[in-house]
Amino acid sequence: MPATPPTDPPLDPAATLADIGEFGLISALTSCFEQGEQVLIGPGDDAAVLRVRTGHVVVSTDLMVEGRHFRRDWAGAADVGHRAAAQNISDINAMGGRASSLTIGLAAPADLEAQWALDFAQGFADECALVGASIVGGDLTRADQVVVAVTVMGACTVAPVVRSGAEPGDVLALAGRQGWAAGGLAVLGRGFRSPRVLVEAYRRPQPPYDAGPAAAEAGATAMIDVSDGLLAEATHLAVSSGVAIDVRTDALDVPEPLHAVAAALGGVDPVAFVLSGGDDHALLATFPAGATLPEGWSVIGEVREGEGVTVDGAPWRGETGWTHF
């Protein structure tokens, strides 16, 4: 049976990590994490032990660094927890799988409020609960800024969908919101907090967690998580598959709040948020021509012979997405 986390008394809201210490924080954090039936041994030992019944095991790792991927004055601790979980769960989703277990490495300054860490953990756990995944372990250390390292494990009940399977003649399709988080980031970057719907989209993305497995079942030939920008991810698909991809802007959904932000920024093209924005964790996939797309998927382009990515048949002159270096 999964280990039951101990119940601890509430922390002093003013306590810092230095006040409660490493093991006090570990004890407090593990009480936030319920364990699923796939967990034989959870937090508290040298390693977790998981049960895998059928299918393929899929694993991914991601990092979030304060000041690079998030700012504590732009997003609350629970928001950061949701984001950290979502970006990792979405990677399993992009393979056509379902996340089941995650581990968290947290580095933080000694003077960070302990409540921040607990709120982060609760947000992380709440996001994981959306797919029935468990937090089965992790690590803590001291650092000059907050750094979050997450490893996620999951399973695919059919063959995993990789990036290299697109064929000329396939259609390009999108599932989930796209461009909303980029609009929110643009708003926050200029010191504003509205439109609120875009700011909240940046703080807490809403990945289409059911869309990945549905696409795999429907015969998707290639798939990727849109974390760094739609055109950037389309380029990954094109390069991996050895094909050309064309995106049609008339097929993209550009919601009214993005038009409002674009106008406020001085005539920025709102379509640019959709084409180059990241952090919504939508899914981009290719399907054979004539395939019946699952609910929530819409065709936004096509796969052709050749190489590279175009927009409406021509090279895109703007940004294609986020780069780390």
Binding-site residues for substrate, in ranges, read 69, 279, 322
- Only one residue has tokens 């056509």, namely 96
CB 85 within 8 A of CB 128: yes
Q: Any residues with CB less than 8 A from the CB of 134 and at least 6 apart, and which? A: 2, 33, 34, 35, 36, 38, 39, 42, 100, 101, 102, 128
Q: Please tell me the distance from the alpha carbon of residue 39 to that of residue 67, in angstroms, as a whole number.
A: 34
Binding-site residues, in ranges, read 46, 60-62, 69, 91, 138-139, 163, 225, 227-228, 279, 322
Token digits of residue 291? 């395939």
Binding-site residues for Mg(2+), in ranges, read 46, 60-62, 91, 139, 225, 228
Query: Which amino acid type is present at position 56?
Result: H
Binding-site residues for ATP, in ranges, read 138-139, 163, 227
Alpha helix stretches (DSSP H) within 139-220 = 180-189, 196-203, 211-217
CA distances (Å), origin 52, targets 49, 56, 92, 284: 10, 9, 15, 28
Residue 299 CA, distance from chain mean position = 22
Within 10 A of 104 (CB to CB), how many other CB atoms are there? Answer: 25
Token digits of residue 232? 């950037």
φ, ψ of residue 284 in degrees (nearest 5) = -120, 130
Within 10 A of 232 (CB to CB), how many other CB atoms are there? Answer: 20
Q: Please tell me the distance from the alpha carbon of residue 186 to that of residue 324, in angstroms, as a whole number.
A: 18
